[in-house]
Structure 1
Amino acid sequence: MKELIMKHVAINAAKFGKPDEKAVIGKVLAENPELKLRVREIIPLIRECIREFEALGEEERKQLVSRFSVEKKVEEKERSLPPLPKAEVGKVVMRFAPNPNGPPTLGSARGIIINGEYCKIYRGKYILRFDDTDPKTKRPMLEAYDWYLEDIEWLGYRPDEVIYASKRIPLYYDYARRLIELGGAYACFCGKEEFKKFRDAGVPCPHRALSVEENLEVWDKMLEGAYEEGELVLRIKTDMSHKDPAVRDWVAFRIIYTPHPLVGDAYCVYPTLDFESAIEDYLCKTTHILRGKDLRDSELRQRYVYDYFGWEYPVTIHWGRVNILEFGKLSTSLIKKDIEAGKYEGWDDPRLPTVRALRRRGITAEAIRTFYLALGISESEVNVSMKSLYAENRRIVDPQANRYFFVADP
């Protein structure tokens, strides 16, 4: 106990010249919140430690300050990120790529923060890319585009470029046509269950043998709206004997007639996330990709596109899932249903794990940043309690908060 108090007395004295009793109390209680129940016992100890510190000679004070400052630097270093492989200062390009079907959640904040921090460390380019090419199943919310911009800035980052994938659909059409011409993509009229049989058996479907000319003709008709939704898809030719069935001839484009909230009914053929993301990462010269290890298949699929075009794939780092014990799986679609059912007031309801809700509760951006930097980017799955975030927030807020203590029954 005395060691803890003396640490904060020394650090406070180094910062302000003379230790301040109230500030030391705040720091001690922020580091060990359980001590609040013993505050009457602690205050005399703090006063005693301040007197002892002030009674020390100048050299002894310097040694004490130096010792605790080193400990603090070691603690801060433990919260820093590991170096990026193959990264050069000034040449790193990273992206945070959400689907704006709701505001950023505590889970989204991890991607915002880690990508943002690396771009600061390497003086790189930070791209915010909205992967909003599914107007039906994961329909974007118009308000969410601005919510992401607001919350990213509140968390302490400012994207160097903002990309809306739904506004760049013709680009993806051009690359799809080039792939067809290279023999790397084909139009498939199989239904889902029918193709699944071919995929599981590891054998090609009959449409795989269509000529380039036939595929181009079908592709043009797709873009003209000549086919029904679900009638066919455009697939990437991969390896139908690949050990992972999810990699076998995956879907690159599908027909969707649902109007898009941002671009309306300008398009009826939309790229899947894997195709759009692969093209965008190349066009944006992305050097490093951070993604969950559950998305390893995405890299395996996208590498076929890169191989067809002779491109070099970005350095990829996979991290393990962070499970917030109090919330379970952070699902934007489930939260949306609960809001519509009246369970929550809105996306900033303090009971929700959205960044807007945490902000409304008084959780600071610094606390969220520190929380995720401490977790790092390990591939191991992490189970963590909100209590850790609350403790970090108390550490930041307590020295600034105007708090009062009283004894209800002296």
Structure 2
Amino acid sequence: MGLIDRMASRLGYEKRAAEDPSWAALAPGIGAYAGLSARAAENLSTVLACTNAIATALAYVPALVYRRDADGNRVEMPAHPLNRLVRGGVSPQMTWPDFLEHFVASTLLTGNGIAVIERAGNGQLAGFRYIPWGMVTVSELSSGRLAYDVSDGRGNTRRYLEGGEVLHLRDRTDDGKIGRSRLSRAAETVNGVQTANQHAASFLANGASPSGVIEVPGTMKPEQRTALRESFQARHGGASKAGSTLILDGGMKWTAAQVSPEDAELLETRKFGVIELCRLFQVPPPIVQAYENNTFTNAAQAGLWFATFGLAPWARKIEAEFARSVFPSGGPYELELDLSGFLRGDPETRWAAHKIAIDTGVLDPDEVRQIEGWNPRPAEKRPAPGNEGGQADG
């Protein structure tokens, strides 16, 4: 055991076995599970589009801080330090939308998102520092808690932090501690889509035309075959040389292979790959501009479906992680990511819901105005009681 290992052991750190498959997910990216890194996975346009759709949408929605009073009622706390960070930025270099977008995207691609919680000298929340997952090493203490060894990426500074000092958003885990990327869980699907894209790129690079056969009378020596193949490829291979004139002599004949991209179902395979990747991220295809099987009806419902099944689970995970790490244990404060704004794209549904809320007494007109982002109506312009519709008394 080395010096560092002995010191870590005395501090209560436990070294995990290298062959533990769940701990292997600590490697940067998505490791050998999918055969490509998280950054390489984003070369697949659908992975990039799905990641951006979820991360950007969650960064866009209002983030509100509430306090529960003794009766269990929620009161918005605009002066809370977290609310100031949401409005003014989590650090001098990063706004709240930028931070949340990085945080969620890392979790979607690698299974884990990490941010250091910065506090002032009096313990008050002062900011967050996003840490790329590849710069973090996780150890398990003898108590069962996790500790995070954060590097600056240059090998100069290392900082050990315990669970309460970091935000750790994770995708579903195998061991209850470290998240595992859904890209790694569906490695064959991801690799299949990547292979189809590589085939399409190769097809286009070779002139978008099928290869063929050169028939030569008699028998050729190996070096003659090699010379013919290389000279033919140099003269006619590649998309930039498509349509060039082919000249053969010595009785040679060219026979094109009768295989088209439609026969190989290349286009259909790539379209299906888009749907497969959307399925991994719970993103409706219209959200990532895949309109092949789209209709007006399902397009109108895609946003609502996306908010309900694609965003709401992640919003709840983020809220729970803030409750665990940022706010005091059992304290009265809570974060809410307000997804109701996704109804703003459907004014008919939104205003019908407002009318029902007013008619049933759930909301009053001023509360509806507040939801819409408007100031309360001036007192002199408010309708008389029982005449909220705004019509003049008879």
Tell me which interval the TM-score lies in, with the shorter structure as reference length: under 0.3
Bigger proportion of residues as strand = 2
Bigger proportion of residues as helix = 1
Q: Give the alignment's TM-score, normalised by structure 2.
A: 0.23
State the structure with more CA Rg.
Answer: 2
Q: Give the alignment's TM-score, normalised by structure 1.
A: 0.22
